[in-house]
């Protein structure tokens, strides 16, 4: 964590050594920052009016306008663009290419991802445990003992999986669930964070650039859910000596942490942003003041740096 003095001053302590870091019923925390689905996950104490008592009237108005905008439902269209047979050492399977597009306007950030039948099967099992009544009328393509690679069956499953995803997304509690969001984003996020840990920053940014737009569309009810990925982008850009791009990613992350000062990424992110702002000749004083105010409100042991936090994500 940063010291209470400005960077470049004699007392600047910089980033310190790490210390111990700080759902839904029995479901594990499959992705960082995701709240339980449904009404319970749509609000938190930090979002209540009492949490913003220090804001001016104008700041409050701007905050609630932003909150209202983030609650607009995003309509997504799911298509299965293609299906191909993959060969492994001891087995063959079909890989389905899923395209996710936001409807209602031109979407320049359409998502393209690939999943196999077993991935859909894992999703179905998880949803059947979590939402047995909600999805009881949603048809899932059954597995056959023989003929799974026949062209006719693949074509039928392609259409069935398209309808399956569309029906799931139409169910509010399902589309906000960890199971559904993880199915669409977790493999790419895990690979991206794995690349970050390995120092493959260009590859990590490529993956983050593909998955972040989709993650943002899926988690409009919980803007903080995308903070780990945005902070990973900041770290990658900083390691590649791209301070402007790193600062821009940090600004996006801070925007999603408004009134969430207790979030585990808040102080490490501010600390990184102070350093970047100072190096870029930007206003670092206001960022430093926010960091100091946060530390005064919630004093505690010095925590992990932003990079140390990022490399710990998606390890399980």
The CATH number assigned to the domain holding 219 equals 1.25.40.10
* CB contact at 8 A, 234 and 306: yes
Identify the bridge partners of residue 115 per DSSP, sorted by sequence position: 96
Q: Is 65 domain-assigned?
A: no
Domain end call among 122, 146, 175 = 175
Provide the domain limits for residue 83. Answer: 76-175
Q: Is 202 domain-assigned?
A: yes
Per-residue pLDDT of 178-187, as tens digits, reads 999 999 999 9
Q: What is the pLDDT of residue 90?
A: 81
Per-residue pLDDT of 150-200, as tens digits, reads 899 999 999 999 999 999 999 999 999 999 999 999 999 999 999 999 999
Q: Is 62 domain-assigned?
A: no
Identify the bridge partners of residue 282 per DSSP, sorted by sequence position: none
Identify the bridge partners of residue 99 per DSSP, sorted by sequence position: 79, 112
Q: Is 285 domain-assigned?
A: yes
What CATH number is attached to the domain comprising 134?
A: 3.30.1520.10
Q: Is 152 domain-assigned?
A: yes
Q: What is the pLDDT of residue 143?
A: 84
**Residues 121, 217 share a domain:** no
**Residues 302, 194 share a domain:** yes
- Is residue 66 predicted with pLDDT exceeding 60? no
Domain end call among 175, 203, 222 = 175
Per-residue pLDDT of 278-310, as tens digits, reads 999 999 999 999 999 988 887 666 789 999 999
Q: Is 52 domain-assigned?
A: no
**Residues 106, 145 share a domain:** yes
Work out the average pLDDT over 234-259. Answer: 96
Domain end call among 147, 175, 203 = 175
Under the banding of pLDDT at 50, 70 and 90, the label for residue 109 is: confident
Highest mean pLDDT among 15-29, 244-258, 295-309: 244-258
Residue 117 Cα distances to 85, 97, 167, 212, angstroms: 11, 11, 17, 24
Q: Model-level pTM?
A: 0.76
**Residues 194, 306 share a domain:** yes
Q: What is the Cα–Cα distance from 290 to 183, expressed in whole angstroms?
A: 36
Phi/psi zone of residue 298: left (φ > 0), alpha (ψ -120 to 50 degrees), beta? beta
The structural domain count of the chain equals 2
């Amino acid at each position: 964590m940063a010291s209470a003095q400005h960077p470049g001053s004699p007392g600047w302590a910089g980033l310190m050594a790490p210390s111990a870091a700080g759902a839904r019923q029995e479901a594990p925390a499959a992705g960082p920052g995701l709240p339980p689905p449904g009404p319970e996950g749509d609000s938190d104490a930090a979002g209540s009016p009492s949490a913003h008592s220090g804001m001016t009237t104008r700041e409050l108005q701007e905050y609630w306008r932003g909150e209202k905008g983030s609650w607009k439902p995003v309509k997504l269209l799911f298509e299965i663009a293609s299906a191909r047979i993959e060969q492994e050492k001891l087995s063959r399977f079909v890989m389905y290419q899923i395209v996710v597009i936001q409807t209602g306007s031109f979407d320049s950030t359409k998502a393209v991802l690939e999943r196999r039948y077993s991935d859909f099967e894992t999703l179905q099992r998880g949803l059947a445990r979590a939402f047995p009544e909600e999805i009881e009328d949603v048809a899932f393509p059954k597995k056959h003992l023989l003929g799974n690679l026949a062209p006719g069956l693949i074509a039928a499953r392609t259409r069935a999986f398209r309808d399956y995803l569309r029906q799931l997304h139409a169910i509010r509690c399902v589309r906000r669930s960890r199971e559904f969001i993880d199915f669409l984003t977790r493999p790419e996020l895990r690979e991206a964070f794995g690349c970050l840990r390995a120092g493959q920053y260009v590859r990590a940014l490529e993956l983050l650039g593909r998955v972040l737009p989709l993650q943002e569309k899926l988690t409009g009810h919980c803007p903080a859910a995308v903070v780990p990925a945005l902070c990973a982008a900041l770290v990658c850009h900083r390691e590649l000596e791209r301070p402007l791009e790193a600062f821009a990613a940090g600004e996006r992350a801070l925007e999603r942490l408004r009134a969430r000062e207790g979030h585990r990424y808040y102080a490490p992110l501010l600390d990184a942003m102070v350093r970047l702002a100072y190096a870029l000749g930007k206003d670092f004083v206001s960022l430093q003041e926010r960091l100091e105010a946060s530390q005064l409100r919630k004093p505690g042991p010095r925590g992990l740096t932003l990079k140390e936090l990022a490399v710990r994500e998606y390890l399980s």
